[in-house]
Structure 1
Amino acid sequence: MRNLSVAAVLMVSATAIALSPARANELDVPVMELASDDLDTCALGKVAGLKKDGDGFLAVRSGPGTNFRKLDEIHNEDIVWLFEQKGNWIGIVYGVGYDMNCSAVDHDRPVPHRGKKGWVHENWIEFLAG
C-alpha cells in the first residue's frame, strides 16, 4: 500500500510539472531580434479588426502557424512590439505597453526583452510606427 501512495505522489508531481506555467509559455520557435545596418529591430503595432461577434481574441502561438500550441489570447487595441516575420506570422512581444527599446543590434539573437512573447497572424495587426 505504501508503494501505491509513493507512486500516486510521483504521478501527481509529474503532471503538475508537465502543466506548469513555465512550459505553457515556452516557444517552440523563438522570436528573433534581427541585426540590420543601424536600423531599429522592432516596430510598434496593435491588435485590430477582430469582430466583436467572432471569437473576440487573437491567439498567440508558440510558433508561426496554427499547428503550434496556443499560449495566450490578445484583444483589439492591445499594444504589441513586432519583431521578425515568417510568412504571414509575426513574432511579437506584448504586455509591456509602450516601454520597449528597439535599438540596432550587431547580431541576430532571440528577443531578450521582458514581456510575453509569441507568434500571431499578420491579418489582425495594425502597424503604428517603427
Structure 2
Amino acid sequence: MRGMALLALAGALVLGNDVARADEKVSGECLISVRGRTYRDGPCRITLYRGGGFLAGGGRGGEYFATVDIDAASGGAQAFWNGAEAESHAHDPLGDVVRQGGCWVNAKARVCAWRPGTRPRAEAPAFDEAPRVVPTAGSGSIDVPIVIGGSEKFDACTGAGHVVGLDPQGDGFLSVRSGPGGKPYSELDRLYNGSQVSICDEKGPWMGVVYGPRSMDCNTGTPWATRMPYTGPCKTGWIHSRYVKATAG
C-alpha cells in the first residue's frame, strides 16, 4: 500500500459524490499539517487512483504532497508525505489515520482534500454579532495539545461556553495560551466578552478550548472514537476558567 489516498471509502467523502475514474486529475484545495506545522494550505492538484486512493498535491519534488492509502480488507488507512525537505517521493510515513469530515488525521498529522467550493469556510460575522475573535501578532504554536474524543457515543467536545467578566476599562481581552498556565506558556490569541468556545479539556483552573467563527464547522460536535490531539480546522488553546460561563456540558 503506498502513495495514494482517501476517497475509497466513499467517492462522496471529501471530493463530493462523483465516482472517480482511474488516475483522474482534478483541481481542488489541499491541507497538509504535520506536528503542528502547516506545510500546504490552498489550491492544488489531486490525483484520484483506481480503488479510491488519492494523492494530494502535484507529486513533484520541491512542493509538498501527501497520500492516504486505504486497506480494502480492513478499512484502515495510512498516510505518507514527502517530508519537510519536499523530496520527490512520499516515503515518510505519517502513520495510521482516521477520517474527520473532509480530512484524515492522527495525533501528528492532518491530510485534507476538497473539490473547489466544497471546503468549509469562515464567513465574516454580521455587525450586530457580539462574539469576536481577534488574532494577535503572536506566532507561537501550542505546547500542550487539546486532547479530545475517545467515545463512539458522545461528541468529541461535550462542553460549551462563552467569555464573560472582562473589564472593558482594563486590558479587555482574555489570553489564549499555549499551555494551562501563565509563563512560560506563550499567548497565541485573544478572546473578548461574548466569544464562544467549545470546552474540550481541563487541567486545574485552565480549560482547553476550540473556537472559531460561528459559521465554521470545527468538527467537535460529532463523536471521535479515537482520543487524540485536536489539530484543526479551528483555533485551539488554553484559557482561564474564571472568565468562562459554561452553557453546556
Counterpart for residue 63 of structure 2: none
Counterpart for residue 144 of structure 2: 29
- Equivalent positions of 1:11-90 (< 5 A) are 24-36=139-151, 38-42=153-157, 43-67=159-183, 68-90=185-207
- Aligned pair partner of 2:229 in 94, 105, 110: 110
CA distance in 2, matches of 1:75, 1:61: 14
CA contact (8 A) 2:212 2:218 kept: no
Counterpart for residue 124 of structure 1: 243
Identity %: 38
Shift, 1:121, TM fit: 0.4
CA distance in 2, matches of 1:113, 1:63: 17
Report the structure, 1 or 2, having the larger strand content: 2
Shift, 1:119, TM fit: 0.5
Larger Rg computed on CA atoms:
2
Shift, 1:100, TM fit: 3.6
CA distance in 1, matches of 2:172, 2:152: 39
Counterpart for residue 48 of structure 2: none
CA distance in 2, matches of 1:87, 1:72: 21
Q: Which gives a bigger RCO, structure 1 or 2 (Cα 8 Å, sep 6+)?
A: 1
Q: SS of 2:161's equivalent?
A: strand
Q: Which runs of 4+ in 1 moved over 4 A?
A: none
Counterpart for residue 210 of structure 2: 93
Which sections of structure 1, spanning at least 5 residues, go unmatched? 1-20
CA distance in 2, matches of 1:92, 1:41: 12
Shift, 1:112, TM fit: 3.5
Shift, 1:41, TM fit: 2.1
Shift, 1:40, TM fit: 1.7
CA contact (8 A) 1:34 1:84 kept: no
CA contact (8 A) 1:30 1:110 kept: yes
Which sections of structure 2, spanning at least 5 residues, go unmatched? 1-135
Q: Normalising by structure 2, what TM-score? A: 0.40
Q: How many residues align?
A: 109
Report the structure, 1 or 2, having the larger helix content: 1
Q: SS of 1:41's equivalent?
A: coil
CA contact (8 A) 1:45 1:126 kept: yes
CA distance in 2, matches of 1:96, 1:113: 13
After TM superposition, the structure 1 stretch with the greater mean CA deviation from structure 2, 90-99 or 111-120, is 90-99
Distance 1:115 1:37, change over 3 A: closer
